[in-house]
Structure 1
């Protein structure tokens, strides 16, 4: 029997139907308040009360090393971000219908990290909003309505972005204007990842043409995070982008997860593949926890979009968000966090490969910088993904004070995304905890 496909919100999720024993009053309140939309981690959810750097602290005083949350990218509660937000909110916070120097200073600094052909930036509050806007811009420019994604992609929770997020769909198939292709996995394409991925893209283009939609865009994140983290070989994405462009579509680089120095080699994940995106979307790490997101676009694309639609975002681009964003850019540069991500990430990959030699359940280690995926499979067989082992390891790491997530079509990939400030010593804490956990896991 083939392994069950895992829906993204089910990975490592608390199952309220299985709770037993004396009730947790706060847990009961959460379930009552959120209802069916409640998503909590772990067999026994944790109540968190504070955090700093790469560490979080629970209500009972237990400390947890955070290898999951990529939102506080420069570290939980970084004092420079806290000060920037506090100072600005005490001075002025208003929408973008007024000129405010802090906003345009930030936009200039952000644009300086991006390719020069991306002239315009629009700021929003969430990555979902940013991706929704990018889809609309692509459709307006191309006159087409079809989109290509990978088969376990996640790009947001608006109506439009849920349609292009196979990982979020529990029952319904993808709508007719969306085609999903396999991720750039060696298990799918063996040694010909670039050629195979491009060929799959060409088939998707033909399908959308046959259905009468044409191709508006390929949208993907360059680390293919929800698919299970596929980053190599560097450059493989270029051929697939060429296929889409030859069909009249655009390339939307969703940098919400791989962006802002996380890959360690460059500021943006797409840069590893030597491709020039038509649109770049960004979010979570921008404000280190302060909600902000954005779209970078060619001026011609933005002009064409605005001819048809008036666009304004009340909270997008507010001065407090800009102050937070500027602090994040400054910290990445001044604390050399890109270099740190490369070095400490390399240490983690080397440590995982050492563990792999003595623990056959680890069948693959992938990633770059501080974005790493590790497959766990039964009997060391890469084609037997084991969700139960993965769940046991995730909960075992939690008991040992390390927080980690899962990814992939079958939910058997450990997904590592610690803050970029992670130290070599903290990396070793994780590796030692994982070794101990694997030793206690069947």
Structure 2
């Protein structure tokens, strides 16, 4: 009997390697916002933020090919492309964030950011939210909550309750900021009392993996004040909300209205080529470079820099941030017009949107959300789920997503809602 692709995958990659969908899709080609499987079926990609300016964008492909045919080496030799990119990148940021380390992944970037906080403060204690994800190195996996570390969470890490939309901390939307701040203050006190001290707080400024709850600008201000008084750093993981995805701001921290000490970047910044970065102020960079002998062979190589520069070019020249704002507003309005007994809230910003499904008592309708995603896939729409109970539909398409694409998504979603079984 012939071996299936899934059997071969398990034999060669081992067990529990995650795939999307009950019947995984065998993707063989991509272009713009579309993907094609091995049988030639086309899917509208409403999920993947890695191809930020569209799958296989010719401008990025050409930049990679041209540079790969010329030179690719590391940063112990001089080359100008990495400097050109850092200048372009930091020009989009304020708050004195003017220096960067180029790496290969968001996980690496977040790992470096944690060490920056420890080098700048002389302390070890770290805080994150209790439903987050910041990567898969040994250090950042201790902040992530998909699976607890072997032996439990380390003593220098504290996880605080994440803000929510349907069940806000403190019992109401008005009380949520104070309740969130109180939990951070309590965690700082515990770290200080235990002798670890407080180095920093890492967050996604859109609280993406937490289900991107609806939060007002300034929500984080009380927490920022507490963190600053304690001498800790604020580490903003912009891997998901950054580079204009939210439409009305280039960065998530800009939209929420706070000044980070360190910003980390990853997946979208080179349209799928493996590039990440850590951006910070010169004083923090100096502390890090003094405390750690850091070098990354592939980080900032000429091919990666060319891909990242081309991605910025496309973002600017094709007006994709404005597109995210305009198409996102249209899409959100259409999502909010949908009616279903389990549709509790449609929310988001720009081209990072979703809908939370819950029963009348606000218990999560996780099974329904899972069946919904499968129903969309069967009709040629790729989407995902997120949130504490994975009951929030996650819509995060490439940035060239159009109004026609948005209408196709919502029309199909409306059909699937009407035919999906409502049981838990």
Give yes or no for TM over 0.5: yes
Which residue of the partner structure matches residue 236 of structure 2? 253
The one-character-per-residue Cα deviations of 1:126-170 (angstroms, maximum 9, x if unpaired) are 100000001011011111111111111000100000001113438
| Partners of 1:167 and 1:226 within 8 A in 2 | no
Deviation at 1:209, TM superposition (A): 2.0
| Partners of 2:329 and 2:349 within 8 A in 1 | yes
| Partners of 1:231 and 1:368 within 8 A in 2 | no
| Partners of 1:256 and 1:281 within 8 A in 2 | yes
Deviation at 1:276, TM superposition (A): 1.2
Which residue of the partner structure matches residue 202 of structure 1? 185
| Partners of 1:151 and 1:167 within 8 A in 2 | no
Q: Distance in 2 between matches of 1:231 and 1:169?
A: 27
Query: Could you tell me the TM-score, scaled by structure 2's length?
Result: 0.95
| Partners of 1:84 and 1:323 within 8 A in 2 | yes
Which residue of the partner structure matches residue 402 of structure 2? 423
Pair 1:304-2:284 in alignment: no
Say which of 89, 103, 118 aligns to 1:124.
103
Unaligned runs of 5+ in 2: none
| Partners of 1:218 and 1:241 within 8 A in 2 | no
How large is the Cα RMSD of the aligned pairs?
1.5
| Partners of 1:407 and 1:414 within 8 A in 2 | yes
Q: Distance in 1 between matches of 2:350 and 2:284?
A: 32
The one-character-per-residue Cα deviations of 1:160-190 (angstroms, maximum 9, x if unpaired) are 0000111343876432221111222241232
Query: Could you tell me the TM-score, scaled by structure 1's length?
Result: 0.91
Q: How many residues in Structure 1 have an aligned counterpart in Structure 2?
A: 417
Pair 1:154-2:136 in alignment: no
| Partners of 2:141 and 2:149 within 8 A in 1 | no
Pair 1:375-2:375 in alignment: no
Q: What secondary structure, in the 3-state scheme, does the structure 1 residue paired with 2:120 have?
A: helix
Q: What secondary structure, in the 3-state scheme, does the structure 2 residue paired with 1:77 have?
A: coil
Which residue of the partner structure matches residue 318 of structure 2? 335
Which residue of the partner structure matches residue 274 of structure 1? 257
Which residue of the partner structure matches residue 168 of structure 2? 188
Deviation at 1:200, TM superposition (A): 2.0
Deviation at 1:206, TM superposition (A): 1.9
Which residue of the partner structure matches residue 211 of structure 1? 194
Which residue of the partner structure matches residue 216 of structure 2? 233
Which residue of the partner structure matches residue 366 of structure 1? 347
Q: What secondary structure, in the 3-state scheme, does the structure 1 residue paired with 2:14 have?
A: helix
Q: Distance in 1 between matches of 2:155 and 2:302?
A: 40
Which residue of the partner structure matches residue 402 of structure 1? 381
Q: What secondary structure, in the 3-state scheme, does the structure 2 residue paired with 1:183 have?
A: coil
Q: Distance in 2 between matches of 1:168 and 1:242?
A: 31
Deviation at 1:245, TM superposition (A): 1.3
Q: Distance in 2 between matches of 1:271 and 1:350?
A: 23
The one-character-per-residue Cα deviations of 1:371-395 (angstroms, maximum 9, x if unpaired) are 11311113x43x2101110110010
Deviation at 1:307, TM superposition (A): 1.5
Deviation at 1:116, TM superposition (A): 5.0
The one-character-per-residue Cα deviations of 1:244-294 (angstroms, maximum 9, x if unpaired) are 111110000000111010110111100012211110000000110000000
| Partners of 2:133 and 2:143 within 8 A in 1 | yes
The one-character-per-residue Cα deviations of 1:405-433 (angstroms, maximum 9, x if unpaired) are 11111111111110111000000111011
Moved over 4 A (4+): none
Q: Distance in 2 between matches of 1:24 and 1:411?
A: 32
Unaligned runs of 5+ in 1: 1-21
Deviation at 1:24, TM superposition (A): 6.2
